[in-house]
Structure 1
Amino acid sequence: MMRRLLLTLLLSVSSTAMAAETLTVYSGRNEKLVGPLLKKFTEKTGIEVKVRYGETPQLAATLLEEGDKTPADVFFAQDAGALGALSNAGRLQALPKATLDKVDARFRSPTGQWVGVSGRARVVAYNTKKVKAADLPDSILGYTDAKWKGRLGWAPTNASFQSFVTALRLLKGEDAAKQWLQGIQANGARVYKNNAAIVEALGRGEIDAGFVNHYYLYAAKKNNAELPVANDFSAPGDPGALVNVAGVAILKDSKKQDAARKFSAWMLENDAQTYFSQETHEYPLVAGVKTAQDLPTLSKVGSPDLDLSKLDDLRGTVKLLQDTGVL
C-alpha cells in the first residue's frame, strides 16, 4: 500500500514538472523571423514552446477577450502599443527587476510590466535608381509635397505603421496627423499589405519610396543582394525616426510563471540579442551587444522623446484612419 502511494505521488510530481516545462506564447512576430530563436530557447532551457502566431493587434484583442481564461503565458508583441493596452487593462504582471534593468528605461514599461527585446526603426525605403538620397526630405512630413505624387507606397493596415501614426498624433497633435494622412493620400500612395510588399515594389520600380521598418530591406537583400533599394532615416527627433520595440510580457494569470520569467530573461541574454542583431537586423537593446555593421547606432537614429507605453491608443488611430478614408 505504501509503495503504491509513493509511486502515485512520484507520478504526480513528474506530471506536474513536465507540464511546467511547456510554455504557451502568443507571438505577433512572424514565424520566419523568430521561429528559429524560439527553437534556440528550447534547446538552451529544455522548456518546450507552444506558439500561436498572428497579427499583434488581433492577438492583443484575443487576449483581452479571453481574460483570465487565456491559455497564454507570454505575449511576444510586435510593438509597445499592444503591450501598453494589455497593461492598462490589468492583464499583465510585473517582470523581475533584474530583467527590466537590462534595458534602457525608454524601451521598457514605466510600470515594469513589459520589456523591449529588440528595436525597430521607422525609415523611408527608396529606389536608388530613381531617387537620390540628397533629394529625400529630412522629415517624414515632407512627403506630403506634391512632387511625391504617384511615387509613394504605404501599408495602412500594418501594426507598425499604425503605431507610427499613433506616435505622430502624440508628438504633433491630432490635426497634424490628420493633415499628414490626407497629404499622403492626396499624393496617391499605393496601398500594400505589409512592409515586405513595399520593399518588393520598390525593387521592381513600381514606386520610388515607401514607409517601412528598417530591417525589411535586409531580409529582401538576403534573396537579392543587388536590390536597388536603400533606407533613409529621418532627422533625429522627427516622428519619422521613431524607434518602437518588439517586447515580451507575462500574462497575469499564467500558471507557468517560472518558465515565463526564464523566457523573458533569455530574450535579453547574449544569444538572443545577437540573433536580433545579426539574423534579423533589428537593434539589440542590451548594452555591449553590437549593432549590425551597416546600421547607424540607436543614438544616431535619434528616436523622438516619447513614452512608448502611450502608443496603446490603437482605437483612436484606427478611427482617424477610417475618418480620413485611409482605411
Structure 2
Amino acid sequence: MSQNRRILTIVAAASAALLLVGCSAGAGGGSTSSSGEMESDGEFTLYSGRSEALVQPLIDMFEEQSGISVNVRYGDTAELGALLLEEGERSPAQAFLSQDAGALGALAEAELFATLPSEITERVPAGFTSTDDSWVGVTGRARVIVYDSEVLTPSQIPASVEALATPEWSGRLAIAPTNASFQSFITAYRVLEGEAAADEWVAAIAANDPQLFENNGAILTAVNDGVVDAGLINHYYWYRLASEIGDAQMRAQLSFPQAGDPGSIVNVTGAGVLKSGAADADALEFIDFLVSRDAQQYFVDETFEYPVIAEVASPEGIPALSSLKNEDLDLADLQSLELTQALLAKHGLI
C-alpha cells in the first residue's frame, strides 16, 4: 500500500472512531469539526521531549514528504509533560513526542490523549507500546551494563543488577541518578520487584559509594577512559561513540542483563495525538510517519536505537528486541516518577 493511500485509510478509520466517540461521549475531548471528521490545515503544533539536534532532521523529512508544516516546541520530556498536564485540553499542542514511556503514561492516565487508530498501533508489538492505543512506541532503548574491558572480563559482569549492590562493587559503579533513563529504570524496579525490594536495592547502592554522573554519555566516557570500572546506561550511547571514534578505540564494552531482570528493561520513546488535536489529520499523519519505514530507518542509522516495526532491522551486534521483552512490565506503569525521585532523595542520591 502506498504512503498516501495508507494515510487516507488511517484518517478514515480515525474519523469513524471519532464519530463513535462523539455519539457516545457528547462533548468529550478533541477539536472535531461540526461533522466529526478529520480536518487538515497543513500544519500542527508538536511538543517534543527529544532534542532539536536529534529530531529536527526527521521533522524536515516529514515536512518535505507531506507538505505539512510542523511548529515545534522543544524541551525536557518531564517539563513538557508537566506543562501538558497543566494546560489540559486547552493546550496549543496537537501531538507530543516523548523520550520515555513514563511521561506518556502520566498523560494517558490524565486522559489527555486521543485514541490512535489500530492501523498505526498494530505495527508495534505488544510490550513496546501502550496497551490502550493512547500512544504508540517509536524506538526502543535497552538498559545495559557498560564495563572497562581492560579491568573486567565478560564472565565477571553479573547477569542481574542485584549483584551490583554487593560490597564487591563498592566504589566501582557509575550511575546517573538525576537522569530520566536511570529514574525510569528505578521505577521499573519498583513495579517489578515491589517497593520494599526497590528501597533495599537503592539503599545498598547508595551505601556502596557509587560514582555519580549527570548522564549516560558521561558514564560511558568515564568507563572508556578507565576512570570507573562499570556503569548503567542505555545501549545506544556505546554505538554512537563507536561510530565516532571507531570500534577499536572502545575500551568500554556492553553486557545485557538477563531478560526479565529489572536491569534489562527496554524503555521506549513514543508519541501520541492529544485530545486538543483529536480531529487534526496533520498531527495523525505525523504519528503515522514516526512508525513508517523511513523514520524507523532514520533512528537506526542516526541514533542506533531499536526500531519497533518488523520491516526495519535492528543495528548490528545487539540482541533481538523480542529477546528483551519483559512480559511482566506495562510501560505505562513507569509513570510514577515522583515516588522514584522520593526514593532516590531518601537515600541521598539526588
What is the TM-score when the length of structure 1 is the normalising length?
0.91
d(CA) in 1 for partners of 2:286 and 2:173? 40
* Match for residue 113 of structure 1 among 134, 143, 163: 134
CA contact (8 A) 1:154 1:210 kept: yes
* Match for residue 264 of structure 1 among 287, 298, 302: 287
* Match for residue 165 of structure 2 among 137, 144, 147: 144
Render the CA deviation track for 1:224-265: whole Å, top value 9, x for unaligned: 221211111001111111011100011111277211110111
* Match for residue 34 of structure 1 among 43, 46, 55: 55
CA contact (8 A) 2:236 2:305 kept: yes
Render the CA deviation track for 1:38-62: whole Å, top value 9, x for unaligned: 2211111111222222221111111
Give yes or no for the alignment of 1:73 onto 2:94. Answer: yes
Aligned length: 310
Render the CA deviation track for 1:274-327: whole Å, top value 9, x for unaligned: 112222111111112111112111123343531111111111111111222211
* Match for residue 238 of structure 2 among 217, 228, 245: 217
d(CA) in 2 for partners of 1:56 and 1:220? 23
CA contact (8 A) 2:187 2:334 kept: yes
CA contact (8 A) 2:145 2:256 kept: yes
d(CA) in 2 for partners of 1:179 and 1:324? 10
Seq. identity, %: 44
d(CA) in 2 for partners of 1:162 and 1:248? 20
d(CA) in 2 for partners of 1:98 and 1:161? 33
Q: Residue 120 of structure 1: SS of its match in structure 2?
A: strand
* Match for residue 182 of structure 1 among 193, 199, 203: 203
Q: Residue 277 of structure 2: SS of its match in structure 1?
A: coil
The amino acid that maps onto 2:301 is Q
What is the TM-score when the length of structure 2 is the normalising length?
0.85
CA contact (8 A) 1:242 1:304 kept: no
The amino acid that maps onto 1:58 is E
The amino acid that maps onto 1:273 is Q
Q: Residue 20 of structure 1: SS of its match in structure 2?
A: coil
Task: Identify the residue that residue 212 of structure 2 maps to in structure 1.
Answer: 191
CA contact (8 A) 1:233 1:301 kept: no
* Match for residue 100 of structure 1 among 94, 105, 121: 121
Task: Identify the residue that residue 88 of structure 1 maps to in structure 2.
Answer: 109
d(CA) in 1 for partners of 2:241 and 2:141? 16
State the Cα RMSD in Å. Answer: 1.7
Task: Identify the residue that residue 273 of structure 1 maps to in structure 2.
Answer: 296
1:120-135 equivalences in 2 (<5 Å) = 120-135=141-156
d(CA) in 2 for partners of 1:206 and 1:53? 33
d(CA) in 1 for partners of 2:340 and 2:222? 26
Render the CA deviation track for 1:14-70: whole Å, top value 9, x for unaligned: xxxxx9222221111122332221221111111122222222111111111122232
1:229-268 equivalences in 2 (<5 Å) = 229-254=252-277, 257-268=280-291
Give yes or no for the alignment of 1:298 onto 2:321. Answer: yes
Task: Identify the residue that residue 52 of structure 1 maps to in structure 2.
Answer: 73
The amino acid that maps onto 2:64 is E
Q: Residue 107 of structure 1: SS of its match in structure 2?
A: coil
d(CA) in 2 for partners of 1:90 and 1:237? 30
Task: Identify the residue that residue 156 of structure 1 maps to in structure 2.
Answer: 177
CA contact (8 A) 2:127 2:325 kept: no
Q: Residue 106 of structure 1: SS of its match in structure 2?
A: coil
List alignment gaps of at least 5 residues for structure 2. Answer: 1-39
CA contact (8 A) 1:27 1:52 kept: yes
Deviates more, 1:46-55 or 1:196-205: 46-55
Q: 1:129 to 1:33 in 2, by over 3 A?
A: farther
The amino acid that maps onto 1:293 is E
d(CA) in 2 for partners of 1:53 and 1:161? 22
The amino acid that maps onto 1:145 is T
Q: 1:256 to 1:48 in 2, by over 3 A?
A: farther
Task: Identify the residue that residue 346 of structure 2 maps to in structure 1.
Answer: 323
CA contact (8 A) 1:219 1:280 kept: yes
Q: 1:32 to 1:133 in 2, by over 3 A?
A: farther
